[in-house]
Amino acid sequence: MGLQKSFDTPKMVTIEKIVDETPTVRTLFFSDEILSKVLPGQFAMVWIPGVNEIPMSVMISQENGKAAFTVRKHGLATTELFSKKVGDQIGIRGPYGNSFTIKQGKMLLVGGGTGLVPLIRLVTFLKKSDDVTIIIGAKTRAEVFFEGLAKKLLEGTSHKVIVVTEDGSYSEKGLVTDVMEKLLKSNRFDAIYTCGPEKMMYKVVQIASQNKSYVEASIERMMKCGIGICGSCCFGDVMACKDGTVFDGTSLLVNKEFGFTHRNKSGMIENY
């Protein structure tokens, strides 16, 4: 499966539909043949005119030739993107980065927040014969999203969608990693994939490696160029934008930054 051909000059697209996922998370749909076909884990640089250009995972659309971004309102750029209306334009370039390795058999997907975006795309690449368990983590009931979508995509297959809230206001109480540990006591997975807050992914990779399971995580770092030139996404000795964003457990376990430090906007190292 080859990576999609990328385009490095921003291309303007028009927002055609908006879906509110939670009070602070929205999915914005637009038409683009190339982004509609990206591999799970690939991202685009999104230009919000007059504001900034930021990296965003490419979300699926269930319509041909369309793609989407699922944005959490956070700082300046994401708040502007979140506030866009149908008919507004944004610039896109990409897709960039590698992708999750598609394995077969019994799969475990562990995601939190907008980290679920590449995992939902991954679900659409798995085979009907695969047995897929997806753990969706959120702090509280109001922040749970993609539960219905995951169930719809996995309909007719052997699957489990488990929602975990930290405050117990919906479904299971605790952390995604508590549920993962419980599952691994009686199940053996052929591959485990994770995306979400780095502390969560760190724990997922540790648990997977203790259980000798194959694991991959999609890493977030500050990104400016997205194509391996500026160095703002340094992750140990590698560049998250070009060498990743997906790394396997073996390389993550020897990367001293993973789970502990990252670089801020001026390149200074900060602790998580």
Ligand X SMILES: Cc1cc2nc3c(=O)[nH]c(=O)nc-3n(C[C@H](O)[C@H](O)[C@H](O)COP(=O)(O)OP(=O)(O)OC[C@H]3O[C@@H](n4cnc5c(N)ncnc54)[C@H](O)[C@@H]3O)c2cc1C
Which residues make up the interface to ligand X (CB under 6 A)?
Answer: 43, 52, 54-57, 70-72, 74-78, 114, 117, 220-224, 245
Query: C-beta of 168: minimal distance to ligand X in Å?
Result: 25
Query: C-beta of 265: minimal distance to ligand X in Å?
Result: 6
What are the C-alpha distances in Å from 125 to residues 47, 218, 234?
Answer: 28, 16, 29
230 interacts with, out of ligand FES, ligand X, none, CB within 5 to 8 A per kind: ligand FES
239 interacts with, out of ligand FES, ligand X, none, CB within 5 to 8 A per kind: ligand FES
Q: Considering only the C-alpha atoms of the chain, give the largest distance between any 2 of them, rounded to a whole number of Å.
A: 52
Q: Which amino acid is at 198?
A: E
| Dihedral (CA of 187, 197, 7, 15) sign | positive
Q: Which is nearer to ligand X, 119 or 208 (CB)?
A: 119
117 interacts with, out of ligand FES, ligand X, none, CB within 5 to 8 A per kind: ligand X
Query: C-beta of 13: minimal distance to ligand X in Å?
Result: 16
Q: Which is nearer to ligand FES, 149 or 223 (CB)?
A: 223
Query: C-beta of 133: minimal distance to ligand X in Å?
Result: 22
Give the residues across from 45 on adjacent strands. Answer: 55, 93
Contact residues: ligand FES, CB under 6 A: 223-226, 228-233, 239, 241
Residue showing the smallest CB distance to ligand X in the complex: 75
State how far Cα 196 lies from the chain centre.
Answer: 7
Q: Which is nearer to ligand FES, 67 or 239 (CB)?
A: 239
Strand ranges (E), 25-102: 25-31, 43-48, 52-57, 66-72, 89-96
State how far Cα 270 lies from the chain centre.
Answer: 22
Give the residues across from 107 on adjacent strands. Answer: 132, 191
